[in-house]
Amino acid sequence: MSDEKNLSDDLNDMLGDAKDGAKKAADKAEEIAGEAKEKAKEFASEAKEAASEFSEGAKEAFDKATGENKKVLAGILAILLGAFGVHKFILGYNKEGIIMLVVTLVIGGITCGIGAGLMGVIGLIEGIMYLTKSDAEFYNTYQVGKKPWF
């Protein structure tokens, strides 16, 4: 009987040690999770702040874009995203930009991309025209003269 009692005492001691170890591990995991949560909050806050600063800087740069800056921006966007009329919006030609966007999305969808291809070619031509004009000529033609097409 004493062997059984010793075995039972040993098992109880081992069980107690296992419970203590599990409790310590759970406490440590909870501590690490809390630290990770705090670091994640800090990172999210910093990322939000950086995004806000970037957004403000981009808006400021866009608002200041005149002359050559707007010429280069409109020219590059016309070449890359001309089918969507992005360059028209940059230059303040909202009606023409909407026309290009609708033709690309609606007519392009109906004609399996022919409308989008046509608008892409128009954007490419306009982008090249924007970039090859002198700053003064671009400014007088598209910003002062408000010539919306070609």
pLDDT tens, position by position, 76-130? 999 998 889 999 998 888 998 998 988 898 888 888 888 888 888 999 999 999 9
Dist. CA 48–CA 55, nearest whole Å: 10
The residue type found at 148 is P
Reply yes or no on whether the pLDDT at 51 is more than 80. no
In this prediction the pTM is 0.52
- Say which residue the tokens 């009329």 belong to: 85
pLDDT at res. 42: 81
Query: Looking at per-residue confidence, does 46 or 71 come out higher?
Result: 71
Reply yes or no on whether the pLDDT at 39 is more than 90. no
Residues 116/83, Cβ–Cβ less than 8 Å: yes
Cα separations (Å) of 103 from 54, 96, 109, 128, 131? 33, 11, 9, 21, 24
In percent, the amount of the chain with pLDDT more than 90 equals 17
Task: Report the pLDDT averaged over residues 34-39.
Answer: 82
